[in-house]
Amino acid sequence: MIRPLRARHRRMVVAVGVVAGLLLVLGLLARRPVPTQAALPLRAASQKDGSQEVGFGRLGVRATLGRDADGSVLLELGAAWPLDDALVGVYWAPGRPADLARLPERSYWLGLYGGRAQTYRLPPRSAAVDGSVLLYGLNRHQVLDAAPIPVRRSADARHSPS
């Protein structure tokens, strides 16, 4: 009586193993691709070409502002060393935030920052309004650093000495 039950159990365990393996493979093949931000190359590579360097004080992150072919403002971030926070969100906010303890209400999400050089497209209104780029620690729920992003109001202002 036990032998037929053991044989039946062995067949069921093998069948469950095969079905589970097939479902795993089908699930991996059917999943959607991970969304990524397309690389946005900066058109201007140096100060004389119209790009602008902005620095974050506390974290050692360098930011370069430039424009792409359609005139959108681009922000390229690069860190000198890896950041302590695993999840860092990049935000743009109009004006200069008075309180860096929390994220301003009118902030605009740009994307996640992974510690390597990444380029973000700023919102269209950033070309006309002074603003700030904020690095927000999603783990700590606090602003880690901020850098002011001034507006260039004319082509002459681009080449004037500061």
CATH code for the domain of 73: 2.60.40
Residue 90's Cβ-side half-sphere holds a number of Cα atoms within 13 Å equal to: 23
Identify whether residues 73 and 110 lie together within a single domain: yes
Identify whether residues 115 and 64 lie together within a single domain: yes
Range of the structural domain that residue 129 is part of:
47-159
117 assigned to some structural domain: yes
- Across the range 55-71, mean pLDDT stands at 74
Query: Greater confidence, 17 or 69?
Result: 17
pLDDT for res 145: 82
104 assigned to some structural domain: yes
Identify whether residues 25 and 94 lie together within a single domain: no
| Cα–Cα distance measured from residue 22 to residue 54, given in angstroms and rounded to the nearest whole number | 52
Identify whether residues 12 and 61 lie together within a single domain: no
77 assigned to some structural domain: yes
> pLDDT of 65-107, one tens digit each?
887 777 778 888 877 666 666 688 888 888 877 777 778 888 8
Identify whether residues 135 and 73 lie together within a single domain: yes
Q: Encoding tokens for residue 57?
A: 């004080």
118-121: strand order across its sheet: 52-55, 61-67, 73-79, 118-121
17 assigned to some structural domain: yes
pLDDT band with cut points at 50, 70 and 90 for residue 8? very high
Identify whether residues 62 and 124 lie together within a single domain: yes
Identify whether residues 93 and 150 lie together within a single domain: yes
Identify whether residues 23 and 53 lie together within a single domain: no
Cβ–Cβ < 8 Å for 114, 34: no
Cβ–Cβ < 8 Å for 51, 62: no
Burial of 65 (C-beta count, 10 Å sphere; 0-12/13-18/19+): buried
- Count how many domains the chain has: 2
Identify whether residues 27 and 51 lie together within a single domain: no
3-class DSSP state for residue 102? coil
134 assigned to some structural domain: yes
| Cα–Cα distance measured from residue 52 to residue 75, given in angstroms and rounded to the nearest whole number | 10
11 assigned to some structural domain: yes
41 assigned to some structural domain: no
CB neighbour list of residue 151: distance below 8 Å, 6 or more residues apart: 126, 127, 128, 129, 130, 131
